[in-house]
Amino acid sequence: MIKNLRLKTWTKQSKLIHLACFILYSLCIEVGAKDFQPIGTVNPSKYVPAQKQIAESKNGMVTTQHFLATKVGEKILNKGGNAYDAAIAVGFTLAVVLPRAGNIGGGGFMVMHDSATNQSYSIDYREMAPAKSFTNMYLKDDGSFNDDKLSTFGYLASGVPGTVAGFWEIHQKFGSLDWELLLEDAIYYAENGFEITPYMGDMLTKYEEKLSYFEPTKKIFMEHNPDFTGSILVQKDLANTLKLIAEKGKDGFYKGEIAKRIANEMQKNGGMITENDLTNYKPQWRKPLISDYRDNKIITMGPPSSGGVHIIQMLNILENYDLKLIQHNTVDYINLLAEVMKYAYADRSKHLGDPDFFVVPISEITNKKYAKSIKNKIKIGESTSSSKILPGSFEEIESVETTHFSVADKNGNIVSSTYTLNSTFGSGVTIEGTGILMNNEMDDFSAAPGIPNQFGLLGAEANEIQPKKRPLSSMTPTIVMRDNKLFFTTGSPGGSRIISAVLQSILNIIDFEMDLEEANKSKRIHHQWQPDILQIEFSLDNDIKQQLLNLNYKVEVIDPATCLQTIMFKDGKYYGYGDFRRPDAFASGDIYD
């Protein structure tokens, strides 16, 4: 008899069991021959998730990966701000209270549905390759890959940040409150500090070596090392930077004192970002991808995010199956999802890149006939080796540490946004005197054919480095509508696992009719084609493991690497849930009339 992997309703005992699975999947950062590995272990048994139960409200909802940022978003809505105002305030606050992923030194994507126009929008505020960058910048003279990890650590790893410009652009189009008001709380927490939670303290300890390598970074984050218990993290330089942004808008970041400091530090330390790069940076409004799945409207992000394209592709394949009949997280279900994921990630490796530089065959990949052709190759009860799955041919030719937040207001405006520094604490570089922790997004380009990035993802010509190009991403902010109203929003951090996590959140809610708590607490699986490994969270029943091994899967049990931030609208109420996989995550619906 096949056992079911779905997590049951949590008792006190089962909570303790699953709290023991909070250690995040981490990748080491190397500089030359030196390995920067997390030191010590994170002891998850002492964490109490901030989210105790599903939040609900008639007037709006905010869900983020830090309870302080959630409360800031809620405060903005209570002041009469809309979802866009709250999202901007949340984004700036996360740059302070969630420094491993929240940022003004990185970039991301936002998908929106506007109630006034009844239209959907998306904006790409992804980082951009500096003008001086070039295709082979991380290769040796003989054409081989330079394993000094210059694309992941240090000044050469950073692309031109897009977060501030993206937030400014959104405010200009949709904002209702004064810009300065949206930064007040972020400035307050940076200037006066906030208490380091046990989880954050353990993350700082885990990345002690990386955070101690560059003096400006060490001065900020290692002041209380080795004991962070009850300590206050103060970031005075970041507060001053945020004050300039509050006063001058995006010019406070991309021009003047801050831009000069970034450019000077880059020049002194071998980085490529110049003042001109900063001055010339512009976010791009892009047409969102829209599809349907079982009478639900899927609104998601297009390239250079790969997530939306492949979410639609995989849903197109899966709608040919009765998933309820197969049953959730049975061996047959895991088998089916793994095979579907292989085909999607194979296509990602060849066909996805910045659409401003490369013709991405979106309509072909998301075509339902193409999905049927893939479906016909899949046989439940069999597994196809990744070496035998090739990217589709058409006539026309991502960090574990990302953060997602979702906001909905009482007027029906919806925001789903994912942004990142790429890997945990980005490049490890803090720009002297600014408090800005910089991204290491250049690693998301394809350095060379056949060379995987730090998340094991392969790329091709579509994603090669070119000046002013935006690297491919797995970020997948998504909105699902039913009967012309919000059904739910979803999105997650997790590098390459973002796409598979978002896919499973959609299936859990639509096909298996789970509530937000059930949908979040269900085990997630992941397969990204290469390497040919089936990953499953938490633990694996021996019977199921043996059946998967009999299907020739190489199975790996992993610690959780994703964290869905989801809002649902049902029967006139908003419901929110902060994924327990990051214990500081929190959704709040205490929003007043």
Angle at 133 between CA 128 and CA 134, to 5 degrees: 120
What are the structure tokens assigned to 230, written together?
């009850």
Query: Residue 344 belongs to what H/E stretch?
Result: helix 331-351
The burial class, CB within 10 Å (0-12 / 13-18 / 19+), for 193 is middle
Query: In 3-state terms, the chain is what percent helix, strand and coil (to 5)?
Result: 35, 20, 45
| Phi, psi for 533 (deg, rounded to 5) | -135, 130
**CA–CA separation, 433 vs 36, rounded Å?**
25
User: If you search the block for the tokens 């065959």, which residue do you land on?
Assistant: 361
For residues 183 and 86, the answer to whether their CB atoms sit within 8 Å is: no
Contacts of 546 (CB under 8 A, 6+ apart): none
The burial class, CB within 10 Å (0-12 / 13-18 / 19+), for 30 is middle
> Of 355, 408, 425, nearest to 588 (Cα)?
408
Strand residues in 258-366 grouped as ranges (E):
284-286, 289-293, 296-300
Strand residues in 294-429 grouped as ranges (E):
296-300, 402-409, 414-420
Helices (H) and strands (E) in the chain, counts: 20, 23
| Phi, psi for 417 (deg, rounded to 5) | -135, 140
The amino acid at residue 472 is L
What is each CA distance from 555 to 5, 495, 586, in whole angstroms?
15, 19, 32
Q: Could you confirm whether 402 is annotated as catalytic? A: yes
User: If you search the block for the tokens 């699986």, which residue do you land on?
Assistant: 525
For residues 124 and 109, the answer to whether their CB atoms sit within 8 Å is: yes
Q: Which of 152, 300, 366, 402 is catalytic?
A: 402
Residue 43 neighbours by CB distance under 10 Å:
12
457: left (phi over 0), alpha (psi -120 to 50) or beta: beta
The burial class, CB within 10 Å (0-12 / 13-18 / 19+), for 143 is exposed
**CA–CA separation, 138 vs 133, rounded Å?**
10
The residues that are catalytic are 402
